[in-house]
Structure 1
Amino acid sequence: MKRPALLHCVMLCLSVNLLFPMEAGAVENDGKLRIVVFGAHPDDAQYKAGGTAAKWAKLGHHVKLVSVTNGDIGHWQSAGGPLAQRRLAEVKKADAIVGAETQVLDIHDGELMPTLENRQKIIRIIREYRADIVISHRPWDYHPDHRYVGILVQDAAFMVTVPYICSDVPPLKKNPVFLYSSDGFQKPYPFQGDIVVSVDDVFDQKLAAIHEMPSQHYEGGAGGSEEHVQRVPSEADEAGRKAWLRDRWTQRQSGEAKRFREGLLKWYGPEKGAEVKYAEAFEICEYGRKPTPEEIRILFPFFP
């Protein structure tokens, strides 16, 4: 290529980049998977999918953990801006351990509503990240914020491919796979463990991340009390705290493995599936595209 032509090409590329800069938070088209996990509060995405997020991140895939509210009433002893800032700092530390990006929306805890404005926020986040997988709460839950996150993500599921809504952000060419994180609610129907992931190999990593959110477990969050704090090893006893946390999360994650053993056998085979100790489970949301078993193995590349 002649020098003038080369210079023209470089200038053209620079002009395009200036006119259409990459959206903040967007990731390069490097052939890796892009996953967005929505939780209602700064801890939900980490609790529900932190292990699976760590597994994706270890393989070089891009993961963003999003809190749709700022968590500013999620403590029994403090609230408002100082609590929101504290919880933001907590999840940033936790997500750094997981290997995920952090985003916390500035919406008051307990006040999330399924408005058009909030739907557009969700659409933009999914588009900007060019998500292949989107995970959220199911839209029936004890907490209104959890329910409305599920509704907002459902409402965004088709719209992310529609060009003339949120037209400031390019639409996705292909609908992501939308998944629900597990819960114990029975109506209108119980959670279905369509995809079950062993987190045995990242269990300690997930515990280390959760340890960085003391406001929610060591102090009890919104449902805590002075009595709860007295029952937990003190901040000075870090080893005792971590042992206390491990005991509770061993019960929780081993309960998931027992509850969804059939799914583990399906995805890992009878021998390995029977040996899994800790698991996270996801349900395929009918609002997105329904992946084939072959596609699931591409989206979850740690299955054998």
Structure 2
Amino acid sequence: MNKIALSLLAHPDDAEILCGGTLMRLADAGWEIHIATATPGDCGTMVENRWAISSIRTKEAKAAADMIGATYHCLDERDLMVVFDKPTIQKTMDLFRRVAPTLVFTHAAKDYMMDHEQVSLLARAASFGYGAPNISHHPLKPGSRVPYLYYCDPIEGIDPYGKEVEPTTFIDISAQMEKKVQMLACHASQREWLRAHHGMDEYLDSTRRHSAKRGAKIGKAAGEAFVQHLGHPYPHDDILAKIFG
């Protein structure tokens, strides 16, 4: 099996918050890592125009990815307008075809904002279909297969109705926590905006709190949690548990 992991999430900084420690551990274990966002974060500002902030945020995303030797991709959809339609499905299929992931992370199916939910659908569709020869003009790479698919925690670990998510898999990221925070701090445009708005470093502090909460579930200082997709014909063994215990 090819050791290629892809996180497809909605916005720059989502990967660092939701699965950055796990991606770091995979990279250390010899996996090829790809971090993709549906949008360049073009609405994540109160002061810049959409073109300026997109340039800033994609550079920040690349800098964070570089910290763990990952490759950054962007589908270049618009913030708050991500949809599950034919053109966007095709973009996603093409991305999967180029990367040929065997392990995929995406958003929870139910989350606090619709961009996240739409990206979850896109990742699910592409993970199922990218191996079909006629779905993309990009050549089918050897080893292309239906990948392991994991849904990251929704923000705060709760669904839109306030119900706490019950993960299938917990990953100890205690040793990776400080570097995870450093990756997140690469997204200075978001950190500074939230520091000005909240009067505290909430951007980093909330990530620390949730990682500590998930770590406590397994008796560790910090953790990340996932729900594995187990529908037909996805793999049913928990590869993350196999790799990390």
The interval holding the TM-score normalised by the smaller chain is 0.7 to 0.9
Alignment match of 2:122 (pick from 141, 147, 152):
152
Matched, 1:120 2:80: no
Runs of 4+ in 1 over 3 A off after TM superposition: 186-190, 244-249, 295-298
Residue 247 and residue 302 in structure 1: after superposition, are their counterparts in 2 closer, same or farther (change >3 A)?
same
TM-score by length of 1: 0.72
Question: What are the equivalent positions in structure 2 for 1:228-243 lying under 5 Å apart?
Answer: 228=198, 231-232=199-200
Tell me, in whole angstroms, the C-alpha distance in 2 between the residues paired with 1:249 and 1:135: 18
CA contact (8 A) 1:98 1:205 kept: no
Alignment match of 1:87 (pick from 57, 67, 75):
57
Describe the SS at the equivalent of 2:88.
Answer: helix
Give identity over the alignment, percent: 21
Q: Which residue of 2 aligns with 1:251?
A: 209
CA contact (8 A) 2:65 2:72 kept: yes
Tell me the C-alpha RMSD between the 2 structures: 2.4
Q: Which residue of 2 aligns with 1:5?
A: none
Matched, 1:291 2:236: yes
Using the TM superposition, give the Cα deviation of residue 212 of structure 1 relative to its aligned residue in structure 2, in angstroms.
1.0
Describe the SS at the equivalent of 2:23.
Answer: helix
Tell me, in whole angstroms, the C-alpha distance in 2 between the residues paired with 1:280 and 1:131: 21
Using the TM superposition, give the Cα deviation of residue 79 of structure 1 relative to its aligned residue in structure 2, in angstroms.
3.1
CA contact (8 A) 2:75 2:92 kept: no
CA contact (8 A) 1:195 1:282 kept: yes
Using the TM superposition, give the Cα deviation of residue 135 of structure 1 relative to its aligned residue in structure 2, in angstroms.
0.9
Using the TM superposition, give the Cα deviation of residue 51 of structure 1 relative to its aligned residue in structure 2, in angstroms.
0.6
TM-score by length of 2: 0.88
Query: What amino acid does structure 1 have at the position aligned with 2:149?
Result: F
Using the TM superposition, give the Cα deviation of residue 284 of structure 1 relative to its aligned residue in structure 2, in angstroms.
0.8
CA contact (8 A) 1:98 1:206 kept: no
Q: Which residue of 2 aligns with 1:143?
A: 113
Describe the SS at the equivalent of 1:277.
Answer: coil
Using the TM superposition, give the Cα deviation of residue 252 of structure 1 relative to its aligned residue in structure 2, in angstroms.
2.0
* Count of aligned positions: 240
CA contact (8 A) 2:112 2:160 kept: no
Using the TM superposition, give the Cα deviation of residue 186 of structure 1 relative to its aligned residue in structure 2, in angstroms.
5.7
Question: What are the equivalent positions in structure 2 for 1:8-19 lying under 5 Å apart?
Answer: none
Matched, 1:57 2:27: yes
Query: What amino acid does structure 2 have at the position aligned with 1:302?
Result: F
Residue 198 and residue 296 in structure 1: after superposition, are their counterparts in 2 closer, same or farther (change >3 A)?
closer
- More moved, 138-147 vs 163-172: 163-172
Q: Which residue of 2 aligns with 1:76?
A: 46
Tell me, in whole angstroms, the C-alpha distance in 1 between the residues paired with 2:187 and 2:88: 26
Q: Which residue of 2 aligns with 1:215?
A: 189
Structure 1, gaps ≥5 residues long: 1-30, 233-240, 265-273
Question: What are the equivalent positions in structure 2 for 1:251-270 lying under 5 Å apart?
Answer: 251-258=209-216, 261=217, 264=218
Tell me, in whole angstroms, the C-alpha distance in 2 between the residues paired with 1:178 and 1:188: 24
Using the TM superposition, give the Cα deviation of residue 139 of structure 1 relative to its aligned residue in structure 2, in angstroms.
2.5
- More moved, 81-90 vs 71-80: 71-80
Q: Which residue of 2 aligns with 1:43?
A: 13
Describe the SS at the equivalent of 2:165.
Answer: coil
Describe the SS at the equivalent of 1:208.
Answer: helix
Structure 2, gaps ≥5 residues long: none
Q: Which residue of 1 aligns with 2:225?
A: 281
Query: What amino acid does structure 2 have at the position aligned with 1:97?
Result: M
